[in-house]
Structure 1
């Protein structure tokens, strides 16, 4: 009955991450290493394989509802894709400790930025230099995908929220961007041939079903309430992830 448990876990994660604009690879990575005991390299490859099909389904669902902002999404993709390639190429040469600190600082900083914008900023004017900021967030996301085998959703959704998008279009646009970055990262990790298909396929099936349901559920959610609750949740989650990453280093 292990496969039933995996399908249920995949469904819940797929539903959550497509609703909040993530890719899910980071969550799958934690589940695969902590619960199923996979080696980090195997878990990274398996997590991308698991997350990628659900991202395609989720992005298409958001496209059908008309929530994707292609202009800012493409601005991110232009830098995220080459950054993913660079990250994958330099990954074998980065010591684990410095990399952990860099990622933790990025995640925590993005979380703080979202919380400040949500609770302390009352300026709703368009963000200046939007194209440059979108490109920067794309670079950060691409490096995380290439180096760590994550889907890079944290910087993308954080960047979109900071740039002024509401939660629903931010989640939709993030799913669109992550299809591109995850595909590049997946190609590099597939070449290593270290995927645990027995676990990954069951998680993938559940994740695809969850991703299919997410855009349809979001279409019935009050946008104002979604912003009020989801933005602080994303900010706190990113801050928590950043702090948790460095705690074992002390």
Structure 2
């Protein structure tokens, strides 16, 4: 069975390398729907997985100067306390009963749908914002909005392990439309590292991390990400993203049904 986990890690890593998104959005539903892990274990293990892989990604983006650290700090001010609060709520629930597990599963499904919307309509949202510059936030309003966005994503990520990828990048771009795409990607990955680390450690405390599963996923995903990055030069991103959005939509429907 560990071979199946490694192959799954390889395939998800391939998609991440191709599109830059899809890690948590695919990995967590895959673990619950295909392999039958409980939602809590799937979320906890994926968070530990994400904190490691995103750490390597941050180093690469930092080397190229693609991280806007001021934005990272603002997001962390909101996301880290929210992640700790979400962990404490889960801890206070004690043994997760069927209702809690169903709530986590539905949250995963909703987070996947948000990822789909961000994939499909990011350009349209940016175009609307460009046509209506009065809605672009500046100064204190921009700071407060960034902290609030961080808090919402902190809760989503802690409960579902999804939201720090495409959803986070889209919201950053809407708040800071003048940032370059590489800066958005680098900033999104950079703030996700402490967030997934805090949330992942929280799930270690809750006992919802499967270490054997984590190792198998890492063995497959690291070469998968590298291979996907190489293939991304040859395959049209529009087609790959459309296929990813279709897959995620079907996954989300299955999760919330």
Cα distance in 2, alignment partners of residues 80 and 57 from structure 1: 20
2:136 counterpart (124, 127, 143): 127
TM-score normalised over the length of structure 1: 0.74
Q: Which residue of 2 aligns with 1:116?
A: 124
Give yes or no for contact 1:21–1:175 (8 Å, CA) kept in 2: no
Cα distance in 2, alignment partners of residues 31 and 114 from structure 1: 25
Aligned residue for 2:184, secondary structure, equals: helix
Q: Which runs of 5+ in 2 are unaligned?
A: 94-98
Q: Which residue of 1 aligns with 2:61?
A: 62
- How many positions carry a matched residue from both structures? 240
Aligned counterparts, 1:188-199, within 5 A: 188-199=202-213
RMSD, aligned α-carbons: 4.0
Give yes or no for contact 1:80–1:139 (8 Å, CA) kept in 2: yes
Aligned residue for 2:8, secondary structure, equals: helix
- Structure 1 residue 22: deviation in Å? 4.3
Structure 2 residue 86 is matched with structure 1 residue 87: yes
Give yes or no for contact 2:78–2:150 (8 Å, CA) kept in 1: yes
Output one character per residue of 1:171-215: Cα deviation in whole Å (capped at 9) or x when no partner: 22111111010001111111122333332211112323445x389
Cα distance in 1, alignment partners of residues 22 and 194 from structure 2: 11
Distance 1:201 1:56, change over 3 A: same
Distance 1:215 1:85, change over 3 A: farther
Distance 1:107 1:24, change over 3 A: closer
TM-score normalised over the length of structure 2: 0.72
Cα distance in 1, alignment partners of residues 208 and 123 from structure 2: 38
Give yes or no for contact 2:62–2:186 (8 Å, CA) kept in 1: yes
Distance 1:143 1:243, change over 3 A: farther
Distance 1:242 1:138, change over 3 A: farther
